[in-house]
Structure 1
Amino acid sequence: MRESGDSPAGGLAGCAVVEMRRYLLRPGGFDDLRRLFQRWLVDGQEQAGMRLGGQFRDRDNPDRFVWFRGFESMVQRHEALEAFYLGPVWRTHRDAANATMIDSDDVLLLRPTDPAHPPTDPVSLGGPGTTASTTWAVAQVWSWTTGDDPESTLAGLGHEVLRQRLGVPVAMWRTEPSPNTFPWLPVRDGRHVVWLAVFPDAEHWLDAATRLARDERWRRITGRLAAAGATDELLHLQPTATSRHPRPAGGPAGWQDIAP
């Protein structure tokens, strides 16, 4: 069991393979799943060889859990998943975890963009807070199936515009094209680019979003993406107590997390 104050071993910088996982939970199931993660599943997965990144509640849908985990390679991913899902921690807690879920198959299999834009160092772990975190994480998922490939536009000029206008580090990943070698855990078809940024609070995000919306370069980029058939989802996320999200730029040294 993880104790308050332990230094994080997680974080996704340097991971060649990253999963972005979005679970639709039964009403009221978020707190039950969060407690399982906090007490058992973070350590259990890391002991199996995974690296846990951000863990979030979707602020626009409180019954959705969004989280990231990383691996050294596709081969190491298979080994780590097999070790965990056939091991004692998952065997003990899987029924309780699965009981919280309606859908756990919304999963993107990703790798760093070229050029790579990895996350910054994660926030140090703290104990569960007594109030909801003010930290405001934002992720955008661009997806497409046919037509021109907009990845180079997003990873190049698009990332630079995001970094300049948002004023914080922006992590970015693209689709990992290798076959899913652990078919017991499905992944979504299609091609995707995901970016993630973290702000001290909602006010900082709203100011940044206004700057981005006014940028003519960003409007041209998003116009080209739409013309290429790409769609996007913008997620507003709240970190949990065991989240390894990137440290918010300009924020205070300590963070309060979702209450137990």
Structure 2
Amino acid sequence: MATPGIVELRQYTLHPGRRDELVELFEREFVDSQSAVGMPVLGTFRQPSAPDRFVWLRAFPDLTGRGPSLTEFYTGPVWAAHSAAANATMVDFRDVLLLRPVQGDFPAPREQAGPVRISVHHFDGPADDLAGDSPDRLVLATHPGPNEFPALPVREGEHVLVTVSLDTAIPPVPASWARRAVREPEHLPLEPTATSLLR
């Protein structure tokens, strides 16, 4: 899987019992339609430990193209037809990190889907220089923005490194990361949905 220039890590909190409803709608209506306007969906996941969470990754070639692609999709016919149904499942859609790859590539899909782990590590400042110490192959770092599409907020004022692995085992935190960490990392053990490219 080619690694894009920009990646959004999106974590949604849903109304109780409505995750499968959103997954079905998302896979049927929103995967191909987003790819068609230049923002492919790299991964869609259930989080088994959090039954009301839906996690997904969306990609863009670069920051310049992000705003136009988002505008085209969210003013287009597919979102107009299905936005009310999608939004009705959600409590919060604002937990979003804007990221850029700093090490490695997205792994190719496995023949048989397996677990995926995404870990978010929080630092006291930009931490790109620490990426090479990661035990995980793929590392993404906070993109400084700007967010050219304010209708969809992103988390600002944070410095993170996000690692992605086709395994839910949590490796030891590198000493260089621990020295600069400002809080405990978030580990997301995830189950890919049927159409997820990252699986």
TM-score with structure 2 setting the length: 0.91
Could you say which residue in structure 2 is the equivalent of 1:243?
196
Equivalent residue for 1:28, pick from 5, 14, 17: 17
Please provide the CA RMSD for this pair: 1.9
Kindly provide the amino acid, as one letter, of the partner of residue 150 in structure 1. Answer: A
1:139 paired with 2:118, answer: yes
Give the Cα separation in 2 of the matches to 1:58 and 1:143: 21
Equivalent residue for 1:91, pick from 68, 80, 84: 80
1:150 paired with 2:118, answer: no
Q: Flag the structure with higher helix content.
A: 1
Q: 1:223 to 1:192 in 2, by over 3 A?
A: closer
Kindly provide the amino acid, as one letter, of the partner of residue 149 in structure 2. Answer: F
Q: 1:81 to 1:222 in 2, by over 3 A?
A: same
1:19 paired with 2:8, answer: yes
Aligned residues: 198
Give the Cα separation in 1 of the matches to 2:119 and 2:109: 19
- Give 1 or 2 for the bigger CA radius of gyration: 1
- Cα shift at 1:183: 0.6
- Cα shift at 1:47: 1.2
4+ long deviations beyond 6 Å: none
Residue by residue, what CA displacement relative to the aligned partner does 1:132-173 show, whole Å, maximum 9, x if unpaired? x6x2111110124xx4543312x112x2xx14xxxxxx3211
Could you say which residue in structure 1 is the equivalent of 2:180?
225
Residue by residue, what CA displacement relative to the aligned partner does 1:167-219 show, whole Å, maximum 9, x if unpaired? xxx321101112100111000011211011013xxxxx44xx4xx34xxxx45
Unmatched runs of 5 consecutive residues or more in structure 1:
1-10, 127-132, 164-169, 200-204, 247-260
Map of 1:42-121 to 2, 5 A cutoff?
42-113=31-102, 116-121=103-108
Map of 1:192-207 to 2, 5 A cutoff?
192-199=160-167, 205-206=168-169
Give the Cα separation in 1 of the matches to 2:13 and 2:165: 22
Give the Cα separation in 2 of the matches to 1:148 and 1:188: 15
Unmatched runs of 5 consecutive residues or more in structure 2:
none
Residue by residue, what CA displacement relative to the aligned partner does 1:30-76 show, whole Å, maximum 9, x if unpaired? 11100111111101111111111111011210110000010011121
Give the Cα separation in 2 of the matches to 1:138 and 1:173: 14
- Secondary structure in 2 matching 1:62: coil
